Structure 1
Amino acid sequence: MTDSGPLKEIAFGAVSGMVGKVVEFPFDTIKVRLQSSSVPLSSFQMIRTTYVNEGIINGFYKGFRAPLLGACAETSILFTSYNWSTSYFTASLKPRSGIKYTEETLPFWTKCASGGFAGFMASFILTPIELIKCQLQVSNLAGNVDNSRSYLYYIRQVIRNNGVAGLWSGLSSTLVREITGTAIWFGTYEYINDYFKANPHVPISPDIQLLVSGALAGIAFNWIIFPVDTIKSNIQTYEILHEHDKNRPKRIGVWYIMKKLAAKPGGIKNFYNGLGITLARAVPANALIFFTYEQLKKNF
């Protein structure tokens, strides 16, 4: 993965993020609802309930517009930050045996570190977007079937109740998820790509190789960081799901949610509610993100 220049990186990342978001969003809605629901349901039950009660657009694509823009910004930041970081390592690492490193020959750890840096940078824009997105996705579960409640309604509610800083509720868990997960995401993608380059006899086309690398990167990311994502989703949806509970705490954090989840029937399994559908979404969405990005770089 080589640097194409900052403006192209931003544009390619934006388009790639948009393509991935269109594919993954319905899966993400079901995932967030499973993570936040007080009633244990299977993925199929949640899909059926969502479809019967709300339909496709208002159900599966509830809260889609802002995440679509957010995906453009997030993916742009991810790829731009990643390529900046790998360029930094290329320029700053001491030559090995008199030979300067290139982005293709960088040690594997630098690619993981670059991924972690990219996740750190993306977390700050991702947190407020995911906060509002998650609240919209579960609003119908809370009985708020008033479809006139828009993004602005929830933004105003958050600011009214918690100030502007409230828009970054869940930032700490997002940072943990993104720094760790994005290091794994880029690391897995680069590792699989390097494997294919080292084994040219593998009987699949280069395009399929890109799709496979992206799909496996998405699976690795979601599999490993899923409990952290569950905690984040619960932090960000707690207020909307308990807005009529006068005894709810004003501030909730990671430990509060962890104890609540562990105390519910199912115990530790509650941290993995929605994992199946998340992995199902990870395959096409991440395959398309990396494939689109690489094709744009190749052709433009």
Structure 2
Amino acid sequence: MSAHNTQVALEAPPAQPQMATTRDRIAGFAAGVASGATKLFVGHPFDTVKIRCQVEGGHGRFKGPIDCLINTVKQEGPRALYKGASIPLVGWAVMDAVQLGSLSNYRLLLQGNDKSHKLGHFEHGLAGLGAGWTVALVATPVEIIKMRLQTQYATGSERKYRGPIDVARYLTRQYGPLGIWHGLAATMSQRSFFFFLWGSYDVYSEWLRSCRVISSFPYMAKAGSSKALEGRPVSEKLVNFLAGGLAANTFWCLCYPVDVVKNRFMTQGDENPIPFRKMFRHVYLTEGLSGFFRGFVPTFIRAFPTNASAIFVWESTVRLIKNGGRE
């Protein structure tokens, strides 16, 4: 065999692009159910305090988040912190299935036919934007029903709504067959900030993977050894947890004023309502800039543990499904 032919024989065949499988496409949806259930268990009490502070504003019945928490428990009992939880019990599982499943598929779409292609930060942000707009279709009914129950303070026969179905019936009578989607544009505006949630998640993940954990104190290392100082890479599970929490805090810092306006719009009285685009001006004129940050503290505190846990569960479940039951 000639030298030329020998060289050809030794050359490796070109790498074939890894195509996305059906398992890859459904993994995100299935893992989203687990994520949504985690989010409800960890975060709903914080969410109730946040919604009540946002809707009541600076001239309402609460002086702040702590006062809201104490008075809610005192006046209505600890179970009041889970008011409206029956809707997100199912709704958040469905919402996270739709959000995270569509996120996975938008990522695959941006990768094209090659699953091994690494997306950039901006592409991850675009996938997040698409997922945000997609999940808004599911989130709007869940959130408007949940919030109207959370902001109902009357008890017994004085209640306006007896439960989730009663809220849905009222909205349908008030706004027509699509009444439970009242506020869809507002929800899509708020969910547009998922660009920053998932874009920053990729940034934080990349940074955390580059970090090293010091495994022991330098003086414990053997003489002449640098292993203690070199450390070891951060585990992927810890990366998922920390990046998820940091990305959630980034998201809420950026989108919170829009979230306040959205929630005010969706829970206001149905006689002479203020349009969403004019609600920004209304909040500013009645409460000033501070009005856009009512309830921010419980939201910020809630964001890290709730979303860190949810994203950790999602990423872990996706890996489990894709690897056929093996982590």
Same fold (TM over 0.5): yes
- Whether 1:32 and 2:51 are equivalent positions in the alignment is yes
Structure 2 counterpart of 1:118: 131
In the TM superposition, what are the counterparts of 1:110-189 in structure 2 within 5 Å?
A: 110-140=123-153, 146=159, 149-179=162-192, 181-189=193-201
Q: CA deviation at 1:164?
A: 2.1
TM-superposed CA distance for 1:101, in Å, is 7.4
Residue ranges of structure 1 left out of the alignment (5+ in a row): 93-99
Partner of 1:235: 265
Q: Distance in 2 between matches of 1:277 and 1:46?
A: 11
Preserved contact between residue 31 and residue 275 of structure 1 (Cα < 8 Å): yes
| TM-superposition CA deviations, 1:260-284 (whole Å, max 9, x none) | 21222x4111111001100111011
1:78 lines up with 2:104 in the alignment: no
* 1:280-295 matched pairs, under 5 angstroms: 280-295=301-316
Structure 1, residues 58-91: CA drift from partner, whole Å, max 9, x if none? x100010111211111111111111111111111
Give the match for residue 285 of structure 2: 263
Name the CA shift for 1:101/1:263 in 2 (closer, same or farther; >3 Å).
same
| Deviation for aligned residue 1:166 | 2.2
Normalising by structure 2, we get a TM-score of 0.79
Distance 1:152 1:124, change over 3 A: same
The answer (yes or no) to whether the contact 1:64–1:133 under 8 Å persists in 2 is: yes
Q: Distance in 2 between matches of 1:205 and 1:294?
A: 13
C-alpha distance after superposition, 1:198-220 (max 9, x if no partner): x1524454332221111001101
Q: For 1:187-202, list aligned pairs within 5 A.
A: 187-197=199-209, 199-202=210-213
Q: Residue 106 of structure 1 aligns to which amino acid in structure 2?
A: L
Task: Determine if the alignment matches structure 1 residue 12 to structure 2 residue 31.
Answer: yes
TM-score (norm 1): 0.86
Q: Secondary structure at the match of 1:5?
A: helix
Give the aligned partner of residue 95 of structure 1: none
The change in CA–CA distance for 1:153 and 1:126 in structure 2 (over 3 A counts) is same
How far is 1:148 from its partner?
7.1
> In structure 2, what is the Cα distance between the partners aligned to 1:260 and 1:28?
24
Number of aligned residues: 279
Distance 2:211 2:55 in 1: 45
Residue 293 of structure 1 deviates from its aligned partner by 1.1
Deviation, 1:288, is 0.5
RMSD across aligned positions (CA): 2.3
Contiguous gaps of at least 5 residues in structure 2: 1-19, 215-233
Shift of the 102–5 alpha-carbon distance from structure 1 to 2, 3 Å rule, reads: closer
Maintained 8 Å contact 1:112/1:184: yes
Matched, 1:62 2:83: yes
Please give the residue correspondences for 1:236-255 in structure 2 after superposition, counting only pairs within 5 Å: 236-239=266-269, 248-249=271-272, 251-255=273-277
Give 1:14 deviation, angstroms: 0.6
